[in-house]
Amino acid sequence: ARIAAAADPGRYADGTGAWFAVVPTGERLAGDPAGLVAEVRALPGPADVLVGGYPAELADYRDGVVDRLPLVGALILGVTFVVLFLMTGSVVAPLKASVLNLLSLSVMFGVLVWGFQDGGLADLLGFTPTGVIEPSIPLLMFCIAYGLSMDYEVFLLARIKEDYDRTGDVYGSVPRGIARSAPLVTAAAAILAVSFAVYATGEVVFLQQLGIGMALAVLVDATLIRGVLVPALMRLAGRANWWAPGPLRRLHDRIGLREDAAASPSHGDMAVLLD
């Protein structure tokens, strides 16, 4: 049976409605409570029927998160594109950064599903897999991991663009820029990875998911993505890394973000102090 028990609706009647207290069977509640809520809401009734309780709240919360994911993703990607365009004057660099960031996030979510939803890490971490992941966890991890990944990308692009503007060397500016920013990125990633990994030593599954997922995302992004894929793609793209349509190029010339050129003389310049 799908319903283990149901209270007498007359006990809760007040003349304007009736309240049913329904207790699902254990396998239905543990397997797919959201599916049970959808089935109950789809049942025909003689009047308007509202379904409440924790399973209904969870189902509504999950639907709300899923419905707003496109808006959240569009805002994050849009703001990222605008900021990186203002910094580099390119439309290729922001697109490349977003694609590579999503690649590292895909690794994080894949491990999250395998390790916690499917139970691959259950024996190691000592938890009981339920077959589901609380909807807010992936959204929270997406926002944090994407921000950290873009932070590392800004470090790299700033030094590469600075070298390219100074020398005009399309290919040489990439390794030189990475060499200047790599120590900072590596140190920051190591500190964050260790800090996140500590969460996995606890017994709260939410913190274990956050710790494992974020530590992996930071390490993959700082090593495989920024250390291998970014220089490889920029090498292949060449001058296309800094391409933008004419109108956008002129817009960047007017409102683009630039470091103070007067603060550090370019190569070959000489600063002379006159009394």
- Which CATH number goes with the domain that contains 214? 1.20.1640.10
Give residue 31's pLDDT. Answer: 58
Give residue 1's pLDDT. Answer: 40
Same domain, 156 and 46: no
Same domain, 163 and 45: no
Specify the DSSP class assigned to residue 229.
I
Give residue 78's pLDDT. Answer: 93
Give residue 107's pLDDT. Answer: 92
Which residue has 């005009």 as its token pair? 168
**Residue numbers of the chain with a pLDDT score lower than 50:** 1, 261-275
Give residue 136's pLDDT. Answer: 83
Give residue 67's pLDDT. Answer: 87
Q: Please report whether residue 266 resides in a domain.
A: no
Give residue 193's pLDDT. Answer: 94
Give residue 29's pLDDT. Answer: 57
Q: Please report whether residue 268 resides in a domain.
A: no
Same domain, 223 and 92: yes
Same domain, 143 and 204: yes
Same domain, 107 and 154: yes
pTM of the complete model? 0.76
Q: Please report whether residue 161 resides in a domain.
A: yes
Same domain, 12 and 83: no
Q: How many domains does the chain have?
A: 2
The CA distance from 220 to 226, in Å, is 9
Same domain, 238 and 122: yes
Give residue 99's pLDDT. Answer: 92
The CA distance from 91 to 81, in Å, is 8
Q: Which residues of 223-256 are buried (b: 16+ CB within 10 A; e: fewer)?
A: eebbbebbbeebeebeeebbebeeeeeeebeeee
Q: Please report whether residue 157 resides in a domain.
A: yes
Same domain, 27 and 86: no
Number of C-beta neighbours around residue 28 at 10 A = 17
Give residue 8's pLDDT. Answer: 61
Q: Please report whether residue 60 resides in a domain.
A: no
Give residue 5's pLDDT. Answer: 55
Q: Please report whether residue 129 resides in a domain.
A: yes
Q: What residue numbers bound the domain in which 113 lies? A: 71-245
Give residue 268's pLDDT. Answer: 45
Same domain, 46 and 97: no
Q: Please report whether residue 207 resides in a domain.
A: yes
The CA distance from 120 to 111, in Å, is 9
Residue type, 144: I
Q: Please report whether residue 252 resides in a domain.
A: no
Same domain, 146 and 233: yes
Give residue 27's pLDDT. Answer: 61
The CA distance from 49 to 41, in Å, is 7
Give residue 43's pLDDT. Answer: 80
